[in-house]
Structure 1
Amino acid sequence: MPKVSEQYRKERRREIMSAVLKCFARKGIKATSITDIITESGLSAGAIYGHFGNKEELVLFVVSEVFDLLGEETGTNEPSAEVPHPAQLIRGVLARIRTEIGNPALLLQIWGEAVTEPKVRELFNRVYGVLSKQFSSRASLWFQEHGLSEAEADRRAAQLMPLLIGVGQGYMIQSTLIDSFDDQAYFESFENLLSQP
């Protein structure tokens, strides 16, 4: 039997993940069965179980991949580039979510899992730490560009960081549950609050 390459395994796992995300979006995490995933993916049960031992393993893999997406570096490291407004950091993360997993409502389900599942909670806390460092660093640069000393900018950024992440979480909740939600007005109101550092 020919050896399966690591690239092939990664591609197949991503294919399975895509099917899982569609099922979760349609039925929810708890209600989705392995049979649903097999049907959605078009793969055999053997193909699924060749990569994941059970549904719990599969859920943890998908959650980990989604959280890794959230924790990817935001913004740009180009020295000549303008440092984005802190609200743009959140917009960048949300844009990646929409591109990679579609409706951000899926994250609400994952957060629900984190309440009762220790492994999911651990993943959540890991990505929260990564985002905290990223947002604090970039917000500090933005404050410095607007006239604050490095020490004061760091202090303001540390104060702002929980709010930045909260704005992103609030966006996902409101955009999912409120029919009249205004995307543009939401971010404009936040930008206005920070217009004078």
Structure 2
Amino acid sequence: MPKVSEQYRKDRRRQIVSAVLNCFARKGIKATSINDIIVESGLSAGAIYGHFSNKDELVLFVVSEVFELISEQSELNQAQAEVQHPAQLIRSLVDHLRMEIGSPALLLQIWGEAVTEPKVRELFTSVYGVLISHFAASASSWFQHLGLDRAAADQRATELMPLLIGIGQGYILQTTLIEGFDEEGYLKSFEQLLSA
């Protein structure tokens, strides 16, 4: 029997993850069955179970992939040479998620899972720490750009973090649940709030 290459395994996992994301978007995490994923992916049960031993393991892997995307984007935001308004950090993150996973609505489901699933909560807590760190560094740069010294900018950025994360979560929640939600108006009002 020919040996399966690492690239082949990665491609199959990517195919499975794509199928899982489609199923989660259509049916939700709890209602999605392994059979749904088999049908969506076009793979056999053996191919799925060759990579993941059960649905819980698969869900955890997909959640970790989504959180990895969030971490990567927050690193990119921080590394940008151009100083960004904190509202732009939220816009960049949500735009990146849309490009990679479709609707950011999946995050609402993941947050729900984090309430009752310790392993998902652990992943969420880890990513939350990364977001806080990167967003705080970017926000500090923005406040320094406005004329604050480094210490004052760091303090202001640290104070802002719970609000910034909450604004981001509110943006994702309302974008997902409210028909005709004015995304630009929401972010502009946040910009005005910080400028007041």
TM-score by length of 1: 0.95
Kindly indicate whether the alpha-carbon contact (under 8 Å) linking 1:19 and 1:37 is maintained by their aligned counterparts in 2. yes
- Matched letter for residue 194 of structure 2: L
Structure 1 runs of 4+ aligned residues shifted over 4 Å read none
Structure 2: distance between partners of 1:136 and 1:27: 36
Alpha-carbon shift at residue 106 of structure 1 (Å)? 0.9
Alpha-carbon separation, structure 1, partners of 2:125 and 2:78: 24
Q: Contact 1:38–1:44 (CA<8 Å) still a contact in 2?
A: yes
Task: Give the corresponding residue for 1:137.
Answer: 137
Gaps of 5+ in 2: none
Residue in structure 2 matched with residue 42 of structure 1 by the alignment: 42
Provide the residue aligned with 1:126 in structure 2. 126
The yes-or-no answer on 1:83 pairing with 2:77 is no
Question: What amino acid maps onto 1:47 in structure 2?
Answer: A
Cα distance in 1 between the residues matched to 2:35 and 2:68? 26
Structure 1 residue identity aligned to 2:147: G
Give, in whole Å, the separation in 1 of the partners of 2:90 and 2:182.
16
Partner of 1:107: 107
Superposed counterparts of 1:110-189, under 5 Å: 110-189=110-189
1:178 shift after superposition: 1.2
3-state DSSP class of the match of 1:32?
Answer: coil
Distance across 1 between alignment mates of 2:76 and 2:166? 17
Identity of aligned residues (%): 72
- Confirm or deny: 8 A CA contact 1:74 1:89 kept in the other structure: no
Measure, in 1, the Cα distance between the counterparts of 2:112 and 2:76.
Answer: 25
Tell me how far apart the structure 2 counterparts of residues 56 and 82 of structure 1 sit (CA, whole Å): 41
Q: Residue 74 of structure 1 contacts residue 134 of structure 1 at CA under 8 Å; is this kept in 2?
A: no
Q: CA deviation at 1:68?
A: 0.8
Tell me the CA shift for residue 76 of structure 1.
5.7
Whether the aligned pair in 2 keeps the contact of 1:174 and 1:181 (CA below 8 Å) is yes
Q: Tell me the SS of whatever aligns to 1:148.
A: coil
| RMSD (CA atoms) | 1.1
Q: How many Å separate the matches in 2 of 1:56 and 1:127?
A: 20
Structure 1: give runs of 5+ residues left out of the alignment.
none
Counterpart code for 2:121: R
Amino acid aligned to 2:87: A
Decide whether the 8 Å contact of 2:78 with 2:134 is kept in 1.
no
Point out the more displaced range, 5-14 or 83-92.
Answer: 5-14
